[in-house]
Amino acid sequence: MQRPFWADVSRAVLPLLQQPRLNLRIFVRDNNVDQALRFLKKKMQREGLFREIKAHAAYEKPSERRVREKAEAIRRAKKLARKKAQREGLLPMPKPKPRPAARPNPFASVQTATTKD
């Protein structure tokens, strides 16, 4: 008999959700579950929960873990050196990302009725 697709994921997720540091609470407003799910996914992404689920989904050999951690340390050191060089003026600062134009406020044009005495 084949196990359900969520069996492996739930086994990896349960210990993470039981940790005391994780306190996610999402409120559903006006029965809008889709919006609540989007908000939950964003929160989980910011907390790094997806990364932990992926890491715990399969066994990682100690040698593979050392290689990964060493690569992460090198990446962090390179990023730190690049940021330091940018602050010192040795490298150009990154170009600012273009911001989307602000949407017009639909309530800005509504004027309150005033009475003159």
Q: What is the mean pLDDT of residues 8-17?
A: 60
Summarised one tens digit per residue, pLDDT across range 53-88 is 888 888 999 999 999 999 999 999 999 999 999 999
> Measuring CA to CA, how many Å separate 104 from each of 90, 101, 112?
41, 9, 19
Per-residue pLDDT reduced to its tens digit, 18-66: 665 667 788 888 888 999 899 989 988 988 888 888 888 889 999 999 9
Higher pLDDT, 89 or 8: 89
**CA 42/CA 46 separation, integer angstroms:** 6
DSSP assignment of 42-68: HHHHHHTHHHHHHHHHS---HHHHHHH
Q: How much of the chain is helix, strand and coil, in % rounded to 5?
A: 50, 0, 50
Tokens of 47: 């907390």
